[in-house]
């Protein structure tokens, strides 16, 4: 990503990398548009305007940044809740005009589901566990515990999943690097937006750390109170991003994904 002057002398970030799927930037632009609708219609998190998109590039308005502050964190928490409240029609729903889905450079299964457990198991946990296993990013025992989690998810066990939730409009890749801090709020970039469970975005924020996380969560909870026991389900929602990292980067992420699955199953049976 490089900073450029655009056709109208506007400053933009110009994204271009070799080897990226021709559909990846188109998907990202569709995600940003869907999240922008949540910002415009519901007061959700701001996102940069898309100035141009093609099979090999994406041009976004440049976002001047500032140091993180408590006030910006509180604004972020409240706005993220409102982004989630914008909702979706089904679990797995993609933004309008999007026909394929990605997280980073990794393609994701497309489809829609009526329940979160089935969506999470069939569109995220099972296919990514198989891919990680094929790439030798998981040991056999690690793969087995993650598949056990998928099987339990498909039972829609409320002890594991928590109470039923409205389908949320998710950013979908909400780690700290995709949150740009400004003086009074935060701007979201690089989404993998879809209809999902709101705790998934929050769990990803916690996984890799973000400044003033407690303030973000407190403000979120004031805007849209979280369901009882949500803290016990953080590990459940972290299995997916950890599997993604195991596939893309290897290292200890496979073991971390299995540990999160064990924790989720233990919490769900407590």
8 Å CB contact between 114 and 91: yes
Query: Is 8 noted as a catalytic residue in this protein?
Result: no
Contact 203, 213 (CB under 8 A): no
The neighbouring-strand residues paired with 3 are 13
Residue 2's alpha-carbon distances to 5, 17, 154, 191, 198, in angstroms, are: 10, 11, 43, 18, 32
Q: Which of 41, 56, 157, 173 is catalytic?
A: 173
Q: What is the DSSP letter of 91?
A: B
Interatomic CA distance for residues 218 and 234, integer angstroms: 16
Instruction: Give the separation between CA 70 and CA 81, rounded to whole angstroms.
Output: 17
Closest CA to 60 of 73, 47, 78, 46: 47
Q: At 156, is the secondary structure helix, strand, or coil? A: coil
List the one residue out of 251, 215, 238, 198 whose CA is nearest residue 88. 198
Residues with a known catalytic role: 173
């Amino acid at each position: 990503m490089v900073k450029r002057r655009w056709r109208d002398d506007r400053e933009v970030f110009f994204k271009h990398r070799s080897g990226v799927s021709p559909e990846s930037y188109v998907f990202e632009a569709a995600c940003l548009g869907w999240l922008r609708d949540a910002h415009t219609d519901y007061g959700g998190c701001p996102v940069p305007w898309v100035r141009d998109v093609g099979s090999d590039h994406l041009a976004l308005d440049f976002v001047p940044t500032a140091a993180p502050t408590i006030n910006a964190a509180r604004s972020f928490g409240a706005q993220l809740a409102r982004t989630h409240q914008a909702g979706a029609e089904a679990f797995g729903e993609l933004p309008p005009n999007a026909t394929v889905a990605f997280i980073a450079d990794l393609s994701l299964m497309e489809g829609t589901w009526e329940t979160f457990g089935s969506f999470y198991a069939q569109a995220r946990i099972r296919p990514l566990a198989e891919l990680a296993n094929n790439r030798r990013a998981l040991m056999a025992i690690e793969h087995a515990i993650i598949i056990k989690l998928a099987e339990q998810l498909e039972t829609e066990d409320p002890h594991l999943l928590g109470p039923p939730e409205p389908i949320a409009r998710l950013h979908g890749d909400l780690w700290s690097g995709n949150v740009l801090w400004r003086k009074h709020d935060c701007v979201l970039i690089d989404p993998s937006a879809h209809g999902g469970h709101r705790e998934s975005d929050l769990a990803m924020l916690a996984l890799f750390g973000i400044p003033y996380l407690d303030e973000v969560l407190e403000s979120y909870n004031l805007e849209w109170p979280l369901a009882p026991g949500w803290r016990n389900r953080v590990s459940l929602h972290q299995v997916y991003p950890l599997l993604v990292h195991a596939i893309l980067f290897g290292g200890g992420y496979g073991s971390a994904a299995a540990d999160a699955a064990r924790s989720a199953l233990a919490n769900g049976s407590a």
